[in-house]
Amino acid sequence: MSVYLPHQRGSLHSLPDDPAAYDTVLAAVTEEALARLTPEGNLEHPAAVEDIGDTSLGITALLALAERRTGNPALPEAVRRSTAFHLRERVFRTDNPGYPNLRVRDSGLPYARYVLAPGAHPIGDWPSTVWALLQAVNVLDTAEDLLADDQYDSLLATAHGYWRWLTEATFFNPQEAANQAIGCVVGGLMLAAHLPVGDAKSVRTEALRLYETEIRAHRVRDRGALLPPEHGGAYDNNYGPISLSFLAQAHRAGGEQVFADDGDELARYLDARLAGSGFDIGGPRYSEQHSAFESVLGLRYFGARIGADLGRYRGDTRWSRHAVQADGGLDGHFAFMLVWQIQDTTSWHRTPSTSPVRHQLRSGQVTVSFDTHLTPALIEAADTVAIPAAVNRQHGFGPVTDGHLLSRPMGEIRVRDARADGLTAKLITKPVVTRDHTLRHVRSLYVTDGAHLWTVTVVERLPGSPYFLAGLPYVTADGDRLRRIETPAEGWAHSPSDLRLTHPDAASPYHFTSASPLTQEQAAFALAADPRGYGNPDEGWSHLTTTTALEAQPLADSPADLHVFAVRYGAPAQPFTPVITRTETGLRVRSTEFTALIGPLEGDEQGNPTLTLTR
């Protein structure tokens, strides 16, 4: 039975985003919403239980935007009735039993509930109130002339109350989720535009202070970038791109350069970690779950700013335009993101950035995305992806000797990029230490023509019977979906020495085989400390002892004082048979595909490696 990744589907830039396409979306929303509208003014999906505090008002905002664009005479009354419903039925002022994050009891300030029943999962009330604030300011922006004066004033007072509850009555950002926190800042910036001068200045000043002291000051470094932290980690596949969208709206609404600068940094990081196909893996809350319409604004806005095809990101296209319930029916949750992306006129930047990037090698259909330690986090070639394999609880790609994986650096990692006649290459020199405390220098050369990836790894001669851990073949493209694979296609991986696919002997959560029916995320959560959705899947996955792995033997005819490993990834081609020889100026790697001269170990005047590449 085929196992597909459930949430990573089509690339988001494949969705039409011209005005006519969005008018079609709004027409469908309008038709479904008007048919659903109850006499009381409720626009919620009948099956909605969680994330409900903002949903009816979210559809109200979409209807107000549709009225602006179409003048549909049925919409003003629907907007007024549904706004009245929210103000009457979905604004709470009595403390929710069990809510743990209050700073002020019985404040009487309004808030939105994640679940309507008192005491039912109250932990979600803070983000739900952020979302309700954002839906409210969108209605204020687009429906001022549709609402009666007293209704407009009541909604504005409620929105201001939401802001005060978020910033005064409770601890700020209690879930340590940057997307929620930046969303709150956006709400403050947009709210300020509707308030009297004095209140507007106070709210705006507080929003900018919170961003600087409570979000920006707590950024986490990963792969050379400072990133807004998501649920205790630097980046999350679901929430990271949502944060990018909030940074885009913060820049659009507030204009401060800091939002553009931080968004640019997050966007460049995202571009570096994404495979060319848009596949990504890893995160402190979700390893393989991707957002969809929630990410479009940020990917499009910042992709254009940095000149990168961020829209290749594989989203969950079941949520391609707006949130839906299990039956496919419209849900108003997070509808503010659809409003903003319709209002923003930025076009997708569809061509890859060509500038060399420290943590990525990308050309054509080949991508190597590197982690902080410059070990591949994924290798993609010919529509198939390999992720780090594990041996003895050590994860990565690299030489293994006596059960010890030589991939963790003990010193500075040096990088050199080169290009020549359609080839792109990266040389990484990494000092490592063996179990007996002997220093070794692992030099890894990656060369691609856009269709194949050739890798050569050189290290001072190792004791025992070393081999090269060449990855866990994980998924392959199958139409618009990604399918788990047991074995890569014939010839996808090749080595001039013996290359074999090995599998763990033991059957337990600590051993992952390619024949497992589980996805990486499911296997990771089985070992996470907390329940699925709250634990850290990256941490859980790190507890794996062994995985299925490609293992390559060293080349037989290499310099006597070196071990050399060579692996080719990609569509079948002529055998990769590199010859490695010493010269007066370094190591020459000669094959039918390329010749590379790797300079002396001591490098240039600054100690950086040197690399000369020819076709």
pLDDT 10s digits, 220-266: 999 999 999 998 888 999 999 999 999 999 999 999 999 999 999 99
Which is more confidently placed, 286 or 163?
Answer: 163
* Residue 334 reports pLDDT greater than 70: yes
pLDDT at residue 506, rounded to an integer: 78
Report the C-alpha gap between 214 and 266 in whole angstroms. Answer: 17
pLDDT at residue 549, rounded to an integer: 98
Report the C-alpha gap between 235 and 383 in whole angstroms. Answer: 24
Read off the pLDDT band of 512 (50, 70, 90): very high
> Of the candidates 309, 279, 274, which has an alpha carbon nearest to the alpha carbon of residue 478?
279
pLDDT at residue 574, rounded to an integer: 87
pLDDT at residue 573, rounded to an integer: 85
Read off the pLDDT band of 198 (50, 70, 90): very high
> Of the candidates 294, 291, 335, 337, which has an alpha carbon nearest to the alpha carbon of residue 314?
291
Kindly state the helix (H) or strand (E) to which residue 232 belongs, with its residue range.
none
In this structure, are residues 468 and 567 in contact, taking their beta carbons and an 8 Å threshold?
Answer: yes
For residue 52 the two structure tokens come to 């409900």
Instruction: Quote the radius of gyration of the chain (alpha carbons, Å).
Output: 27
How many residues are recorded in the chain?
Answer: 615
pLDDT at residue 234, rounded to an integer: 87
* Residue 1 reports pLDDT greater than 70: no
Count CB neighbours of 458 within 10 A: 24
In this structure, are residues 189 and 138 in contact, taking their beta carbons and an 8 Å threshold?
Answer: no
Collapse the DSSP code of 7 into the 3-class scheme (helix H, G, I; strand E, B; otherwise coil) and give the result: coil
Read off the pLDDT band of 174 (50, 70, 90): very high
Read off the pLDDT band of 367 (50, 70, 90): very high
* Residue 315 reports pLDDT greater than 80: yes
The DSSP call for residue 118 is T
Mean pLDDT, residues 558-565 taken together: 95
Count CB neighbours of 605 within 10 A: 6
What's the predicted TM-score (pTM) here? 0.97
* Residue 166 reports pLDDT greater than 90: yes
For residue 249 the two structure tokens come to 């709206």
* Residue 597 reports pLDDT greater than 80: yes
Task: Tally helices (H) and strands (E) across the chain.
Answer: 13, 27
Q: How does the average pLDDT of the chain come out, rounded?
A: 96
Mean pLDDT, residues 124-144 taken together: 97
The DSSP call for residue 317 is G
Read off the pLDDT band of 532 (50, 70, 90): confident
pLDDT at residue 233, rounded to an integer: 85
DSSP 127-141: HHHHHHHHHHHHHHH
pLDDT 10s digits, 43-95: 999 999 999 999 999 999 999 999 999 999 999 999 999 999 999 999 999 99
Mean pLDDT, residues 268-287 taken together: 95
Collapse the DSSP code of 603 into the 3-class scheme (helix H, G, I; strand E, B; otherwise coil) and give the result: coil
Mean pLDDT, residues 161-175 taken together: 98
Mean pLDDT, residues 190-199 taken together: 97
